[in-house]
Amino acid sequence: MVTTPKFVMKRHAGPKSYENIMTKFLTRRKCSINESNIWLRHPRRRFASRPPLGRPRAATFNSAATHDILLRYVQLPPKLARLSAENWLKGNRMDTILFNTDDTAEVPPPVTGTQRDARKVKISPDHWYPVAWSHEVKAGKTRAVKFAGDPVVLVRPKQGAVFALENRCAHRQVPLDAGVVSGCAIRCHYHGWTYDASGACTDVPYLGKGKLPNGVKSYPCREEAGLIFIFPGDPAKAADSFPNLSAASDSNYKTRRFGREVACHYSFMHENLMDMNHQFMHRKQMGQVRPRYLGRRLGDTWLEVQYTFARTGGKQPLGETAIFGGKRTPDVNDRDVMTIRTEYPYQTLRILPAGGDAPVMDLWIVYVPLDAAQKTIRTFGLLSIHKPKSTLGRAGLNIGWPFLILFTERIFKEDRWIVEAEQAAHDAQGANWNQEVFPVIRELTGLLARCGVVRE
């Protein structure tokens, strides 16, 4: 649930206070404020007291007034203020605009020993997690995978849907993935014990039907967007929690499926994507790029942040050109809006181009722990690029696709190296020694710790 404070402004002496000016302005424009909480600041004065950290800052206005409010009262740059409010609201698919409220001006205290270390929190099993790509499980074959140290076997009958079982035979505990797919069941390689999709033992060759032993654990299993998902937690919670993968199945988008194993806790990956202030690390791939933090919103199980970017040096890489369908000129600096969202346990990243009505890029990604210690993960990502409307533009996207793959692989390689270095440092120190100054990341680690499972 989002906590939204009331509309607050610094009061100044005299009849022309900011509150009076805003009231007259809104009355003249015939627009209203709905759950507004912009913290306005005088161009030459600061608030006597700042709003508390961690609170979302959002405002809802009609499109007629937004430009003037952005430019005259919130003190955003003119280029950003000129962005059409109507397109902004429509492109973000929500009724709020996020603003930079200078959250990083105050450095919060370091993490203390009384706070939960997110690196020592297990991921919650009560969500759908991909454990393999569809092409990895052939018809009539099996595949062994793991989720947080638990062995799982995926079985794809020659006819019928793929299903998932605990990867052990109830008889001698040997792995079932070495067995034989028989109809819509799997037969153990050792003694031929047979299990159906529910995990029930349906046949033991040397026993009568009335003497069949108990079976093995089964997992709710679902195949979507080229991914095979299982639900490792309480099956009763599986019905209403499947993630939204609409862009990957939208004919208006071309989707790249990617993923690698990474030797780190999943929380490091969430932080890496959420914090765009690390663009310096990618300077060889992207040139000199300056991110501008706009603001964020926070809920019980989600956190959303927005940025714009400006190129201050270097050339635009070909992979980025493929994403935007052409070169970006300096006049669009700080106008393309990037929205990054952690909606536990998934992350999304969308880029709305200046003046656009749909995201030019839509990324969905999740980090699945493989080992019991949850220090090794496998990433599963769906990177969807909006297809240009023209035939020539679509041909250009296809030609530029290999460059996009190369570009994203290089970025991922740099990110993987740095998060693995973070994990190594945490292992050596035995605790979280980070002196984090960005409130968004402090809120994110708190969210991950709150939503996860404390290790016993």
Report whether 295 contacts 304 (CB < 8 A): no
Instruction: Say which range, 18-32, 81-95, 365-379, has the weakest mean pLDDT.
Output: 81-95
- Tell me what pLDDT residue 59 has: 39
The answer, yes or no, to whether residue 25 has pLDDT greater than 90, is no
Instruction: Find where tokens 């020539």 sit.
Output: 392
The answer, yes or no, to whether residue 15 has pLDDT greater than 90, is no
State which CATH number among 2.102.10.10, 3.40.47.10, 1.10.3720.10, 3.30.70.3340 fits the domain covering 129-237: 2.102.10.10
Report whether 98 contacts 306 (CB < 8 A): yes
What are the backbone dihedrals phi and psi of residue 183, each rounded to the nearest 5 degrees, phi first? 65, -125
Tokens of 68: 């003037």
Report whether 286 contacts 373 (CB < 8 A): no
Give the CA distances from residue 359 to residues 334, 337, 348, 362, in Å, rounded to whole numbers and listed in that order: 16, 9, 12, 6
The average confidence (pLDDT) of the chain is 78
The DSSP 8-state label assigned to residue 82 in this structure reads T
Q: What is the dihedral of CA 136, 142, 144, 146, to 10 degrees?
A: 80
Q: Tell me if 129-237 shares its fold with 246-454.
A: no
Spell out the domain ranges in the chain. Answer: 8-99, 129-237, 246-454
Task: Give the residue, 152 or 75, on which the prediction is more confident.
Answer: 152
Closest CA to 304 of 440, 427, 448, 152: 440
Give pLDDT tens digits for 341-392.
Answer: 999 999 999 999 887 788 989 999 999 999 999 999 999 999 999 998 888 8
The answer, yes or no, to whether residue 41 has pLDDT greater than 60, is no
pTM here is 0.76
pLDDT-based confidence at residue 329 (cuts at 50, 70, 90): low
In angstroms, rounded to a whole number, what is the distance separating the alpha carbons of residues 32 and 10?
Answer: 19
Task: Give the residue, 95 or 325, on which the prediction is more confident.
Answer: 325
The DSSP 8-state label assigned to residue 145 in this structure reads E
State which CATH number among 3.90.180.10, 3.90.380.10, 3.40.50.300, 2.60.40.290 fits the domain covering 246-454: 3.90.380.10
